[in-house]
Chain A
Amino acid sequence: MTAIAAEPVTMARALNRALADALAADDRVLVFGEDVGTLGGVFRVTDGLAARFGEARVFDTPLAEAGIVGTAIGMAMNGLRPVVEMQFDAFAYPAFEQITSHLAKLHNRTRGRMELPVVVRIPYGGGIGGVEHHSDSSEAYFAHTPGLRVVTPGTPSDAYSLLRAAIECPDPVIFFEPKRLYWAKDASPLTTGTPLDTAVVRRAGSDVTLIAYGPTVPTALESAAAADVSVEVIDLRSLAPFDDATVCASVRRTGRAVVVHEAPAFLGYGAEVAARVTEQCFHYLHAPVARVTGFDIPYPPPMLEEHHLPNVDRILDAIERLQWDDTVVLPDA
Protein backbone atom coordinates (compact mmCIF):
# COMPACT_ATOMS: atom_id res chain seq x y z
CA MET A 1 0.00 0.00 0.00
CA THR A 2 1.27 3.41 -0.96
CA ALA A 3 0.02 6.37 1.05
CA ILE A 4 -0.82 9.25 -1.27
CA ALA A 5 -2.44 11.96 0.86
CA ALA A 6 -3.32 12.32 4.48
CA GLU A 7 -5.23 15.61 4.55
CA PRO A 8 -9.01 15.25 4.96
CA VAL A 9 -10.71 14.95 1.59
CA THR A 10 -14.31 14.54 0.51
CA MET A 11 -15.39 11.40 -1.30
CA ALA A 12 -15.95 13.44 -4.47
CA ARG A 13 -12.38 14.72 -4.21
CA ALA A 14 -11.01 11.24 -3.54
CA LEU A 15 -12.80 9.91 -6.62
CA ASN A 16 -11.49 12.83 -8.66
CA ARG A 17 -7.98 12.04 -7.46
CA ALA A 18 -8.42 8.36 -8.33
CA LEU A 19 -9.51 9.23 -11.87
CA ALA A 20 -6.63 11.67 -12.28
CA ASP A 21 -4.07 9.20 -11.00
CA ALA A 22 -5.46 6.42 -13.20
CA LEU A 23 -5.38 8.70 -16.26
CA ALA A 24 -1.81 9.65 -15.44
CA ALA A 25 -0.74 6.06 -14.83
CA ASP A 26 -2.18 4.47 -18.00
CA ASP A 27 -2.67 6.04 -21.44
CA ARG A 28 -5.38 3.50 -22.22
CA VAL A 29 -7.69 4.99 -19.59
CA LEU A 30 -10.43 7.31 -20.91
CA VAL A 31 -13.14 9.16 -18.97
CA PHE A 32 -16.37 10.13 -20.71
CA GLY A 33 -20.06 10.69 -20.20
CA GLU A 34 -22.58 13.50 -19.93
CA ASP A 35 -21.15 16.76 -18.59
CA VAL A 36 -17.92 15.16 -17.41
CA GLY A 37 -15.71 17.37 -19.59
CA THR A 38 -16.01 21.15 -19.41
CA LEU A 39 -18.35 21.15 -16.43
CA GLY A 40 -16.42 18.51 -14.49
CA GLY A 41 -19.53 16.42 -13.79
CA VAL A 42 -22.70 17.48 -12.04
CA PHE A 43 -21.07 16.38 -8.77
CA ARG A 44 -17.65 17.70 -9.87
CA VAL A 45 -16.11 14.25 -9.65
CA THR A 46 -14.35 14.84 -12.98
CA ASP A 47 -13.45 18.45 -12.19
CA GLY A 48 -10.31 19.61 -13.97
CA LEU A 49 -9.63 16.31 -15.73
CA ALA A 50 -10.45 17.50 -19.26
CA ALA A 51 -8.19 20.51 -18.81
CA ARG A 52 -5.35 18.40 -17.48
CA PHE A 53 -5.58 15.37 -19.78
CA GLY A 54 -7.15 16.88 -22.88
CA GLU A 55 -10.41 16.35 -24.72
CA ALA A 56 -9.09 13.22 -26.40
CA ARG A 57 -9.08 11.40 -23.06
CA VAL A 58 -11.75 13.15 -21.01
CA PHE A 59 -14.79 14.22 -22.99
CA ASP A 60 -18.47 14.99 -23.03
CA THR A 61 -20.80 12.70 -24.94
CA PRO A 62 -24.32 13.06 -26.29
CA LEU A 63 -27.10 12.44 -23.82
CA ALA A 64 -27.40 8.73 -24.55
CA GLU A 65 -26.55 6.20 -21.88
CA ALA A 66 -26.76 3.08 -24.08
CA GLY A 67 -24.49 4.90 -26.48
CA ILE A 68 -22.00 5.70 -23.74
CA VAL A 69 -21.76 2.13 -22.49
CA GLY A 70 -22.07 0.56 -25.96
CA THR A 71 -19.20 2.60 -27.34
CA ALA A 72 -17.17 1.93 -24.19
CA ILE A 73 -17.57 -1.79 -24.93
CA GLY A 74 -16.27 -1.28 -28.47
CA MET A 75 -13.32 0.74 -27.17
CA ALA A 76 -12.47 -1.98 -24.67
CA MET A 77 -12.62 -4.53 -27.50
CA ASN A 78 -9.87 -2.46 -29.08
CA GLY A 79 -7.66 -2.32 -26.02
CA LEU A 80 -8.73 0.84 -24.20
CA ARG A 81 -9.94 1.09 -20.59
CA PRO A 82 -12.97 3.38 -20.52
CA VAL A 83 -14.38 4.81 -17.30
CA VAL A 84 -17.86 6.11 -18.05
CA GLU A 85 -20.31 8.05 -15.93
CA MET A 86 -24.06 7.55 -15.76
CA GLN A 87 -25.17 10.89 -14.36
CA PHE A 88 -27.72 9.49 -11.90
CA ASP A 89 -28.86 5.99 -10.90
CA ALA A 90 -32.18 6.04 -12.72
CA PHE A 91 -30.57 7.48 -15.84
CA ALA A 92 -28.45 4.35 -16.20
CA TYR A 93 -31.47 2.25 -17.16
CA PRO A 94 -31.21 2.98 -20.91
CA ALA A 95 -27.78 1.31 -20.73
CA PHE A 96 -29.17 -1.79 -19.02
CA GLU A 97 -29.14 -3.95 -22.15
CA GLN A 98 -25.61 -2.99 -23.08
CA ILE A 99 -24.47 -3.71 -19.53
CA THR A 100 -26.29 -6.97 -18.90
CA SER A 101 -26.32 -8.51 -22.38
CA HIS A 102 -22.88 -7.48 -23.56
CA LEU A 103 -20.60 -5.93 -20.97
CA ALA A 104 -21.29 -8.71 -18.49
CA LYS A 105 -21.14 -11.57 -20.98
CA LEU A 106 -18.51 -10.90 -23.62
CA HIS A 107 -15.60 -12.30 -21.63
CA ASN A 108 -17.43 -15.55 -21.01
CA ARG A 109 -18.89 -15.69 -24.52
CA THR A 110 -15.45 -15.39 -26.06
CA ARG A 111 -14.00 -17.97 -23.66
CA GLY A 112 -11.74 -15.31 -22.20
CA ARG A 113 -10.45 -14.07 -25.55
CA MET A 114 -11.90 -10.62 -24.97
CA GLU A 115 -11.48 -8.66 -21.79
CA LEU A 116 -13.88 -5.83 -20.99
CA PRO A 117 -12.07 -3.60 -18.51
CA VAL A 118 -14.85 -1.01 -18.40
CA VAL A 119 -15.87 0.88 -15.28
CA VAL A 120 -19.41 2.25 -15.19
CA ARG A 121 -19.66 4.87 -12.46
CA ILE A 122 -23.19 5.34 -11.13
CA PRO A 123 -23.99 7.96 -8.47
CA TYR A 124 -26.79 6.32 -6.49
CA GLY A 125 -29.07 6.48 -3.51
CA GLY A 126 -31.15 9.14 -1.82
CA GLY A 127 -30.88 11.62 0.99
CA ILE A 128 -29.87 14.58 -1.15
CA GLY A 129 -33.31 16.06 -1.70
CA GLY A 130 -33.46 14.94 -5.31
CA VAL A 131 -36.67 14.94 -7.31
CA GLU A 132 -37.86 11.72 -8.94
CA HIS A 133 -35.38 9.56 -10.88
CA HIS A 134 -32.48 11.01 -8.90
CA SER A 135 -32.37 8.76 -5.84
CA ASP A 136 -32.73 5.11 -6.87
CA SER A 137 -30.70 2.29 -5.38
CA SER A 138 -30.38 0.01 -8.38
CA GLU A 139 -27.54 -2.19 -7.17
CA ALA A 140 -29.55 -5.42 -7.10
CA TYR A 141 -30.28 -5.28 -10.84
CA PHE A 142 -26.57 -5.34 -11.57
CA ALA A 143 -25.39 -7.55 -8.71
CA HIS A 144 -27.85 -10.15 -10.02
CA THR A 145 -25.99 -10.29 -13.35
CA PRO A 146 -23.14 -12.79 -13.52
CA GLY A 147 -19.97 -11.36 -14.99
CA LEU A 148 -20.26 -7.93 -13.40
CA ARG A 149 -18.38 -6.81 -10.35
CA VAL A 150 -20.44 -4.41 -8.28
CA VAL A 151 -18.57 -2.20 -5.85
CA THR A 152 -19.60 0.68 -3.60
CA PRO A 153 -17.38 2.65 -1.22
CA GLY A 154 -18.49 3.83 2.19
CA THR A 155 -15.55 6.16 2.91
CA PRO A 156 -13.42 8.61 0.90
CA SER A 157 -10.29 6.50 1.26
CA ASP A 158 -12.14 3.41 0.02
CA ALA A 159 -13.58 5.47 -2.81
CA TYR A 160 -10.03 6.20 -3.93
CA SER A 161 -8.60 2.72 -3.55
CA LEU A 162 -11.63 0.87 -4.90
CA LEU A 163 -11.89 3.09 -7.97
CA ARG A 164 -8.19 2.64 -8.70
CA ALA A 165 -8.63 -1.13 -8.32
CA ALA A 166 -11.77 -1.09 -10.48
CA ILE A 167 -9.95 0.69 -13.30
CA GLU A 168 -7.10 -1.81 -13.14
CA CYS A 169 -9.46 -4.80 -12.98
CA PRO A 170 -9.80 -6.90 -16.16
CA ASP A 171 -13.51 -7.47 -15.39
CA PRO A 172 -16.26 -4.91 -15.97
CA VAL A 173 -17.09 -3.06 -12.75
CA ILE A 174 -20.27 -1.23 -11.85
CA PHE A 175 -19.05 1.38 -9.42
CA PHE A 176 -21.87 2.75 -7.29
CA GLU A 177 -21.04 6.07 -5.67
CA PRO A 178 -23.25 6.99 -2.69
CA LYS A 179 -24.34 10.52 -3.57
CA ARG A 180 -25.04 11.61 -0.04
CA LEU A 181 -21.47 10.72 0.96
CA TYR A 182 -19.87 12.77 -1.83
CA TRP A 183 -19.23 15.55 0.66
CA ALA A 184 -18.29 13.33 3.60
CA LYS A 185 -14.70 13.90 4.70
CA ASP A 186 -12.11 11.43 5.85
CA ALA A 187 -8.54 12.01 6.96
CA SER A 188 -7.38 8.48 6.14
CA PRO A 189 -4.57 8.40 3.60
CA LEU A 190 -5.51 7.60 0.00
CA THR A 191 -3.83 4.33 -0.82
CA THR A 192 -3.82 1.70 -3.52
CA GLY A 193 -3.74 -2.02 -2.94
CA THR A 194 -7.20 -2.59 -1.47
CA PRO A 195 -8.63 -5.77 -3.01
CA LEU A 196 -11.77 -5.26 -5.06
CA ASP A 197 -13.72 -8.12 -3.54
CA THR A 198 -13.42 -7.89 0.24
CA ALA A 199 -15.64 -6.58 2.98
CA VAL A 200 -14.11 -4.77 5.93
CA VAL A 201 -14.99 -4.68 9.62
CA ARG A 202 -15.49 -0.97 10.33
CA ARG A 203 -16.16 -1.37 14.03
CA ALA A 204 -15.55 -4.40 16.20
CA GLY A 205 -18.33 -5.74 18.39
CA SER A 206 -19.48 -8.97 19.97
CA ASP A 207 -23.29 -9.11 20.18
CA VAL A 208 -24.66 -8.39 16.72
CA THR A 209 -23.28 -7.88 13.21
CA LEU A 210 -24.61 -4.90 11.32
CA ILE A 211 -24.04 -5.36 7.59
CA ALA A 212 -24.10 -2.18 5.52
CA TYR A 213 -22.65 -0.74 2.34
CA GLY A 214 -22.29 2.59 0.58
CA PRO A 215 -24.66 5.25 1.89
CA THR A 216 -25.77 3.30 4.96
CA VAL A 217 -22.28 2.72 6.38
CA PRO A 218 -22.23 5.98 8.42
CA THR A 219 -25.81 5.29 9.55
CA ALA A 220 -24.77 1.83 10.72
CA LEU A 221 -21.77 3.22 12.60
CA GLU A 222 -23.93 5.85 14.25
CA SER A 223 -26.42 3.16 15.27
CA ALA A 224 -23.64 0.99 16.67
CA ALA A 225 -22.42 3.86 18.81
CA ALA A 226 -25.94 4.43 20.14
CA ALA A 227 -26.83 0.79 20.80
CA ASP A 228 -26.79 -0.69 24.28
CA VAL A 229 -25.33 -3.95 22.99
CA SER A 230 -21.94 -4.46 21.37
CA VAL A 231 -22.35 -4.00 17.62
CA GLU A 232 -19.89 -5.06 14.94
CA VAL A 233 -20.25 -3.10 11.69
CA ILE A 234 -19.26 -4.60 8.36
CA ASP A 235 -18.90 -2.45 5.26
CA LEU A 236 -19.39 -4.87 2.36
CA ARG A 237 -17.69 -2.66 -0.27
CA SER A 238 -18.03 -5.46 -2.85
CA LEU A 239 -21.65 -6.47 -3.55
CA ALA A 240 -20.58 -8.88 -6.26
CA PRO A 241 -18.78 -11.03 -5.57
CA PHE A 242 -19.95 -11.30 -1.97
CA ASP A 243 -17.32 -11.75 0.72
CA ASP A 244 -18.87 -14.72 2.52
CA ALA A 245 -15.77 -15.30 4.64
CA THR A 246 -15.66 -11.91 6.37
CA VAL A 247 -19.41 -11.74 6.95
CA CYS A 248 -19.81 -15.31 8.16
CA ALA A 249 -16.79 -15.11 10.48
CA SER A 250 -18.40 -12.11 12.15
CA VAL A 251 -21.90 -13.60 12.39
CA ARG A 252 -20.54 -16.84 13.83
CA ARG A 253 -18.97 -14.78 16.60
CA THR A 254 -21.96 -12.52 17.29
CA GLY A 255 -24.84 -14.89 16.52
CA ARG A 256 -27.06 -12.11 15.23
CA ALA A 257 -27.15 -10.12 12.00
CA VAL A 258 -28.97 -7.11 10.58
CA VAL A 259 -28.60 -5.98 6.95
CA VAL A 260 -29.15 -2.33 6.09
CA HIS A 261 -29.74 -0.79 2.70
CA GLU A 262 -31.76 1.97 1.06
CA ALA A 263 -33.17 -0.18 -1.72
CA PRO A 264 -36.56 -1.88 -1.23
CA ALA A 265 -36.52 -5.12 0.77
CA PHE A 266 -38.38 -7.33 -1.68
CA LEU A 267 -35.78 -9.30 -3.65
CA GLY A 268 -33.28 -6.71 -2.56
CA TYR A 269 -29.61 -7.22 -1.80
CA GLY A 270 -30.40 -7.92 1.86
CA ALA A 271 -32.41 -10.98 0.88
CA GLU A 272 -29.30 -12.53 -0.61
CA VAL A 273 -27.23 -11.60 2.43
CA ALA A 274 -29.85 -13.10 4.76
CA ALA A 275 -30.01 -16.29 2.71
CA ARG A 276 -26.25 -16.70 2.55
CA VAL A 277 -25.79 -16.02 6.25
CA THR A 278 -28.60 -18.43 7.13
CA GLU A 279 -27.20 -21.14 4.86
CA GLN A 280 -23.70 -20.83 6.26
CA CYS A 281 -24.24 -19.81 9.90
CA PHE A 282 -27.55 -21.45 10.85
CA HIS A 283 -26.30 -23.15 13.99
CA TYR A 284 -24.67 -19.97 15.22
CA LEU A 285 -27.76 -17.79 14.83
CA HIS A 286 -29.93 -16.85 17.80
CA ALA A 287 -32.44 -14.96 15.68
CA PRO A 288 -33.46 -14.68 12.04
CA VAL A 289 -31.37 -12.27 10.01
CA ALA A 290 -33.17 -8.93 10.06
CA ARG A 291 -33.38 -6.38 7.27
CA VAL A 292 -33.68 -2.62 7.63
CA THR A 293 -34.33 -1.23 4.19
CA GLY A 294 -36.27 1.23 2.13
CA PHE A 295 -39.93 0.31 1.80
CA ASP A 296 -41.35 -1.52 -1.21
CA ILE A 297 -42.45 1.71 -2.82
CA PRO A 298 -41.24 3.91 -5.66
CA TYR A 299 -38.60 6.26 -4.29
CA PRO A 300 -40.43 9.07 -2.43
CA PRO A 301 -40.46 12.76 -3.28
CA PRO A 302 -37.75 14.70 -1.42
CA MET A 303 -40.02 16.11 1.28
CA LEU A 304 -40.98 12.59 2.32
CA GLU A 305 -37.75 10.67 1.75
CA GLU A 306 -36.72 10.79 5.43
CA HIS A 307 -39.58 8.36 6.16
CA HIS A 308 -38.22 5.88 3.62
CA LEU A 309 -34.53 5.84 4.37
CA PRO A 310 -33.18 3.52 7.07
CA ASN A 311 -32.20 5.59 10.06
CA VAL A 312 -30.68 5.03 13.48
CA ASP A 313 -34.05 4.50 15.17
CA ARG A 314 -35.12 1.79 12.76
CA ILE A 315 -31.77 0.06 13.00
CA LEU A 316 -31.83 0.16 16.82
CA ASP A 317 -35.38 -1.14 16.75
CA ALA A 318 -34.34 -4.04 14.53
CA ILE A 319 -31.46 -4.83 16.87
CA GLU A 320 -33.82 -4.81 19.86
CA ARG A 321 -36.08 -7.33 18.16
CA LEU A 322 -33.38 -9.96 17.66
CA GLN A 323 -34.93 -12.29 20.29
CA TRP A 324 -32.49 -11.43 23.03
CA ASP A 325 -34.73 -12.97 25.69
CA ASP A 326 -36.27 -15.74 23.60
CA THR A 327 -39.73 -14.17 23.67
CA VAL A 328 -41.61 -14.45 20.42
CA VAL A 329 -41.72 -11.25 18.43
CA LEU A 330 -44.16 -10.99 15.57
CA PRO A 331 -42.61 -9.62 12.43
CA ASP A 332 -43.88 -6.42 10.85
CA ALA A 333 -46.90 -6.82 8.57
Chain B
Amino acid sequence: MIAHKFLRPDGTSVFTGFRWELPNGTPGEWVEASAEPCRSGIHACRISDLPLWIGPTLYEIELDGDLVQQRNKLVASRGRLLRRVEAWDDGLRDAYTRMCADRAHELTHSVEPRLEAWDAVVEPSIREGPALLGFVAARIAEEISGREAYHTERARQAAWLVERLGLEA
Protein backbone atom coordinates (compact mmCIF):
# COMPACT_ATOMS: atom_id res chain seq x y z
CA MET B 1 0.00 0.00 0.00
CA ILE B 2 1.26 3.48 -0.84
CA ALA B 3 0.82 6.20 1.78
CA HIS B 4 2.63 9.35 2.90
CA LYS B 5 4.83 10.31 5.80
CA PHE B 6 6.01 13.65 7.12
CA LEU B 7 9.53 13.83 8.52
CA ARG B 8 11.78 16.45 10.01
CA PRO B 9 14.26 18.09 7.59
CA ASP B 10 17.02 15.73 8.74
CA GLY B 11 14.94 12.65 7.87
CA THR B 12 14.01 11.74 11.42
CA SER B 13 10.51 10.92 12.62
CA VAL B 14 8.64 13.76 14.28
CA PHE B 15 7.68 11.85 17.43
CA THR B 16 10.23 9.08 17.85
CA GLY B 17 13.33 10.67 16.34
CA PHE B 18 13.92 7.49 14.32
CA ARG B 19 16.33 8.20 11.45
CA TRP B 20 14.98 6.93 8.14
CA GLU B 21 17.15 5.91 5.25
CA LEU B 22 16.08 8.41 2.64
CA PRO B 23 15.40 7.43 -0.96
CA ASN B 24 18.03 8.57 -3.39
CA GLY B 25 16.80 7.54 -6.80
CA THR B 26 15.97 4.15 -5.31
CA PRO B 27 13.72 3.37 -2.33
CA GLY B 28 15.17 3.38 1.17
CA GLU B 29 15.67 0.17 3.15
CA TRP B 30 12.67 -1.59 4.61
CA VAL B 31 12.07 -0.79 8.27
CA GLU B 32 10.24 -3.34 10.43
CA ALA B 33 8.48 -3.05 13.79
CA SER B 34 5.34 -4.56 15.23
CA ALA B 35 2.26 -2.53 14.35
CA GLU B 36 1.01 -1.03 17.62
CA PRO B 37 -0.56 2.40 17.13
CA CYS B 38 1.34 5.24 18.85
CA ARG B 39 3.80 2.76 20.39
CA SER B 40 5.49 0.80 17.66
CA GLY B 41 5.33 0.29 13.92
CA ILE B 42 5.51 2.39 10.79
CA HIS B 43 3.09 5.31 11.09
CA ALA B 44 1.85 6.95 7.91
CA CYS B 45 -0.92 9.07 6.43
CA ARG B 46 -3.71 8.46 4.01
CA ILE B 47 -4.54 11.49 1.86
CA SER B 48 -7.32 12.47 4.26
CA ASP B 49 -4.88 12.36 7.21
CA LEU B 50 -2.32 14.75 5.73
CA PRO B 51 -3.63 18.01 7.25
CA LEU B 52 -3.52 16.47 10.75
CA TRP B 53 0.17 15.56 10.60
CA ILE B 54 1.70 18.34 8.55
CA GLY B 55 5.46 18.51 8.94
CA PRO B 56 8.56 19.96 7.31
CA THR B 57 9.18 17.32 4.62
CA LEU B 58 6.89 14.82 2.93
CA TYR B 59 7.67 11.37 1.54
CA GLU B 60 5.79 8.69 -0.31
CA ILE B 61 6.04 5.48 1.68
CA GLU B 62 5.29 1.87 0.82
CA LEU B 63 3.65 -0.11 3.61
CA ASP B 64 3.61 -3.87 3.89
CA GLY B 65 2.94 -6.62 6.42
CA ASP B 66 0.40 -6.14 9.21
CA LEU B 67 -1.65 -2.99 8.73
CA VAL B 68 -3.77 -1.21 11.34
CA GLN B 69 -6.12 1.42 9.97
CA GLN B 70 -6.85 4.01 12.62
CA ARG B 71 -9.23 6.93 12.39
CA ASN B 72 -6.48 9.39 11.48
CA LYS B 73 -3.48 7.30 10.50
CA LEU B 74 -2.12 3.97 9.30
CA VAL B 75 0.27 1.76 11.24
CA ALA B 76 2.12 -1.02 9.45
CA SER B 77 4.74 -3.56 10.45
CA ARG B 78 6.94 -2.80 7.41
CA GLY B 79 7.64 0.34 5.46
CA ARG B 80 10.17 1.99 3.20
CA LEU B 81 10.39 5.49 1.79
CA LEU B 82 9.91 5.59 -1.96
CA ARG B 83 10.51 9.23 -2.86
CA ARG B 84 10.40 12.69 -1.45
CA VAL B 85 7.41 14.79 -2.51
CA GLU B 86 9.48 17.71 -3.73
CA ALA B 87 6.45 19.91 -4.28
CA TRP B 88 6.07 20.22 -0.49
CA ASP B 89 8.65 22.97 -0.18
CA ASP B 90 8.92 26.29 1.67
CA GLY B 91 6.83 28.04 -0.96
CA LEU B 92 3.97 25.57 -0.80
CA ARG B 93 4.09 25.40 3.00
CA ASP B 94 3.72 29.19 3.08
CA ALA B 95 0.93 29.05 0.51
CA TYR B 96 -0.92 26.43 2.56
CA THR B 97 -0.49 28.51 5.70
CA ARG B 98 -1.86 31.58 3.92
CA MET B 99 -4.77 29.61 2.46
CA CYS B 100 -5.73 28.39 5.94
CA ALA B 101 -5.37 31.88 7.40
CA ASP B 102 -7.55 33.39 4.66
CA ARG B 103 -10.12 30.66 5.17
CA ALA B 104 -10.09 31.26 8.92
CA HIS B 105 -10.79 34.97 8.35
CA GLU B 106 -13.53 34.11 5.89
CA LEU B 107 -15.18 31.84 8.44
CA THR B 108 -14.97 34.34 11.31
CA HIS B 109 -16.59 36.96 9.07
CA SER B 110 -19.31 34.61 7.88
CA VAL B 111 -21.42 34.87 11.01
CA GLU B 112 -23.05 37.66 12.97
CA PRO B 113 -21.73 38.71 15.33
CA ARG B 114 -18.31 38.08 13.84
CA LEU B 115 -16.00 35.83 15.82
CA GLU B 116 -13.62 38.63 16.69
CA ALA B 117 -11.71 36.70 19.36
CA TRP B 118 -10.98 33.89 16.93
CA ASP B 119 -10.17 36.31 14.14
CA ALA B 120 -7.57 37.98 16.34
CA VAL B 121 -5.53 34.78 16.75
CA VAL B 122 -5.22 34.08 13.02
CA GLU B 123 -2.45 36.45 11.92
CA PRO B 124 -0.26 35.96 15.02
CA SER B 125 -0.52 32.20 14.46
CA ILE B 126 1.00 32.38 11.00
CA ARG B 127 4.56 32.40 12.31
CA GLU B 128 3.82 29.04 14.00
CA GLY B 129 3.37 27.43 10.60
CA PRO B 130 0.93 25.42 8.53
CA ALA B 131 -0.06 22.76 11.06
CA LEU B 132 -1.42 25.33 13.51
CA LEU B 133 -3.23 27.37 10.89
CA GLY B 134 -4.95 24.25 9.59
CA PHE B 135 -6.14 23.48 13.09
CA VAL B 136 -7.28 27.06 13.70
CA ALA B 137 -9.38 27.12 10.53
CA ALA B 138 -10.96 23.77 11.38
CA ARG B 139 -11.68 24.82 14.98
CA ILE B 140 -13.37 28.02 13.80
CA ALA B 141 -15.55 25.97 11.45
CA GLU B 142 -16.42 23.72 14.39
CA GLU B 143 -17.17 26.72 16.57
CA ILE B 144 -19.67 27.96 13.99
CA SER B 145 -21.31 24.77 12.76
CA GLY B 146 -20.29 21.89 15.02
CA ARG B 147 -18.16 18.79 14.86
CA GLU B 148 -19.00 17.81 11.29
CA ALA B 149 -17.77 21.18 10.08
CA TYR B 150 -14.39 20.47 11.68
CA HIS B 151 -14.07 17.34 9.54
CA THR B 152 -15.37 19.12 6.44
CA GLU B 153 -12.71 21.78 6.87
CA ARG B 154 -10.01 19.16 7.26
CA ALA B 155 -11.27 17.45 4.08
CA ARG B 156 -11.10 20.80 2.31
CA GLN B 157 -7.49 21.19 3.39
CA ALA B 158 -6.68 17.67 2.19
CA ALA B 159 -8.21 18.42 -1.20
CA TRP B 160 -6.04 21.55 -1.48
CA LEU B 161 -2.95 19.48 -0.73
CA VAL B 162 -3.90 16.78 -3.23
CA GLU B 163 -4.29 19.35 -5.97
CA ARG B 164 -1.14 21.35 -5.21
CA LEU B 165 1.06 18.34 -4.53
CA GLY B 166 -0.20 16.42 -7.53
CA LEU B 167 -1.20 13.43 -5.41
CA GLU B 168 -3.73 10.81 -6.37
CA ALA B 169 -6.83 11.19 -4.21
Judge: A and B partners, yes or no.
Answer: no
- Point out residues on A near B: beta carbons under 8 Å: none
- Point out residues on B near A: beta carbons under 8 Å: none
